[in-house]
Structures are given as structure tokens and as C-alpha cells.
Amino acid sequence: MRIDLDNVKALRELDSAGMLEAAWNLPEQCAQAWSLAQDPPLPQIADWRHLLVTGLGGSAIGGDLLRVFAADKLGIPVLVNRDYTLPWFVNRETLVFAVSYSGNTEETLSAYGAARERGTTVVAITTGGELGRRAADDGVPVVRIPTGIQPRAATGYLFIPMLGILERLGLLFGMEAEVTGVSAHLRELRGRYGPETPARDNPAKQLAANLQHRLPVIWGATGTTEVVAQRWKGQFNENAKAPAYWNVFPELNHNEVVGFEQPEDLLGRIWLIVLRDEQDHPRVRLRMKVTREMVKKAAGWTEVDSSGPTGLARVYSLIYLGDYASMYLAALAGIDPGPVQVIDFLKNELAKHE
């Protein structure tokens, strides 16, 4: 049953896993995630030449956040691995974060095993599960994060500890101020996006209403909003149980943009959301403008700007908007945003075939 987005009681009743509450608590989660990274023993410092984050879904996106955020701060490249196996180059000179909220994701456990075999330095981030057990047995440092929410609602716990550990290892600096900036900005934004704020003043509810019965296609820009575009797509999938797609400028100008001629009935259902940031390359800004003129007759178009005092706060400002909009989109279709039965089913089916 369709829910009126201003009926807060109905929104909460529909939300069996407390997704709205977890989103509201994201500022505090970020602050706590920083503290959690301060205690675990550190691995022995080595002359690492690469950093690899291995995980899936909600546990992998923090790796992408790190990859983009650290591109102009870390002296070594960051690679995100969403697989059972590891790339050939991974060796003793690789620092590996093995990230799994549940600690039971088979691809991550397999990659963890491979990382140990190759003699890499591993740090685990998990609530426990099999990864927690294996790491404890292997003497691998573990950042233990609280259990009880969906992995995709734990983006603070799954990303920020990496900043804390990297700072303690002397590889990043000034991260506490970054995290404080994110928390403070999200605290402001939840007053705008949260369920108590009526639709007329709430950009997240307005965006959801706009996307109802449409196919969201989210376009970000490489180096600024690329991870947000991917995150929004995942949140529309997992929270609203709806299809969504993402891509990035400038690459999409070399292929995807050509595909707006037919079929007309499908194109008419597509709604493009373009994510913008003040650090977008000026030529990318121009591309967005020109592209809008090219596709606006075929599909809908909304532009969304990031806000906030720092690059990371700006990225989180957009993540937050997408998180809320996807939950409201679920509510508009009468769908519980929390459970992801399809993922659970797949994991259970796979578990039957050891």
C-alpha cells in the first residue's frame, strides 16, 4: 500500500529494520566509527606499494570512497576488489582491508584467505562472523563494528575506520577533522531530509515523488561524485527494490549518451539525475550542460549539487540525500526498505553447495 510520505507513523511502521533510524543516526555513527579505529593493535608498518580493499556490496563501497578520496592524499594506489580472488600483483607489499559487515560473505572470506596466503598485511573490518573468527585466530588486527543494522546503513562504520587506521599508520593526516566535518554537516542535513520534515520542505521526499514509476539513471563525475552515483543506484535497488543504473562523465559522453533515440516508450520512463560538485572539472561541467540539451527531449533530468565544508562532507551530503530518497521511494510503493530477501536467498542457495 502506498504511504503518504508525511505520515511519519506509517513510514516507521513499514520500516521493519529501522533503516530510517539508522540514517538519522549516521552523523553519530561516523563519529563512533572514528573512535573504533583508535583501539585495535596496528599491523607492523612496512613499505607498502599498494592498498587493496576487498568486500562486496555495502561493504565494498567504502573502498571506493577511499579510492577517490585518497587519490590526491595517499602516496600509493587504492584498488577495490569485489571478487573471490585477488589480482596477480597483490603480494607482501600490499596493505589489505578485508571488509564484511556480517563477516560471512563467501567472496570476501575467499579473498581474505588469498591475502593471507600471499603474505600481505591484512586489517579486517567486521561485526564478527567467520571473518572475525579467522582474523582473531590469525592474529590479524580487527576493527569490530556494532551489529544490528543493514550493511548498507553502516557506511560510516565500513569506511571511516580505514581513515583512522591509515592515519595511525602514518599514511594519511588530518582525518579526525574530516570526520568531524562530515558528522556536523550530516547533522544539519538530517533536519531537511528526515521523515519529520514535510514533503514541501524536504528535497529527499520531493526527489522520491519525482522518481515514482520511473527508471532512475544516475550520472556522476569521475573523481568527485562517481561513488555517489554508484551508491544511489545500489540504494534504489536495495531499499526501493527498483531498477536503477549509473554512469560517469566524461566517459558516458563517449557511448551512453548516444543511446537516447529509441525505444521512445522506455526513454520516456527514464529520469536522469546528474550529481554535481564544485570540484568537477570545468570541461565536465560544460559537458553536463551540453548533454542536457541533447537528451532533455527524450528523458527527464534533475541536477543535484553537493554541499558542505570539505570534499568528504560534500560526498556524504549526496550519499545522505540518496539514502533518504531511496527509502521514500520504497514507501511510495508500500515497500519495506530494510529486508533484502533476494540477497539472503542467493547467499543461502550458495551455502548449500560448499
Contact between 298 and 241 (Cβ < 8 Å): no
Closest approach, Cβ 100 to ligand F6R, in A, equals 3
> Which residue is catalytic, options 254, 297, 352, 353?
254
What phi, psi does 175 have (nearest 5°)?
-75, -30
Closest approach, Cβ 3 to ligand F6R, in A, equals 21
Cis preceding linkage at 243, omega within 30: no
Which lies closer to ligand F6R via its Cβ, residue 295 or residue 325?
325
Q: Is 238 a catalytic residue?
A: yes
Which lies closer to ligand F6R via its Cβ, residue 108 or residue 291?
108
In the block, residue with C-alpha cell 575467499:
110
> Which residue is catalytic, options 167, 205, 238, 241?
238
State the Cα–Cα distance between residues 333 and 74, nearest whole angstrom.
Answer: 43
Which lies closer to ligand F6R via its Cβ, residue 105 or residue 291?
105
> Given the rule CB under 6 A, which residues bind ligand F6R?
56-59, 100-102, 105, 108, 150-152, 238, 340, 343
Closest approach, Cβ 285 to ligand F6R, in A, equals 32
Question: What is the Cβ-side half-sphere exposure of residue 278, based on CA atoms within 13 angstroms?
Answer: 10
Element (H, E) at 342: helix 341-351
Cis preceding linkage at 250, omega within 30: yes
- The DSSP call for residue 130 is H
Which lies closer to ligand F6R via its Cβ, residue 294 or residue 346?
346
Which lies closer to ligand F6R via its Cβ, residue 127 or residue 202?
127
State the Cα–Cα distance between residues 293 and 246, nearest whole angstrom.
Answer: 19
Closest approach, Cβ 161 to ligand F6R, in A, equals 14
> Which residue is catalytic, options 50, 73, 281, 347?
347
In the bound complex, which residue of the shown chain has the CB atom lying closest to ligand F6R?
57
Q: Which residues pair with 300 in a beta bridge?
A: 271
Closest approach, Cβ 58 to ligand F6R, in A, equals 3
Q: Which residues are catalytic?
A: 238, 254, 347
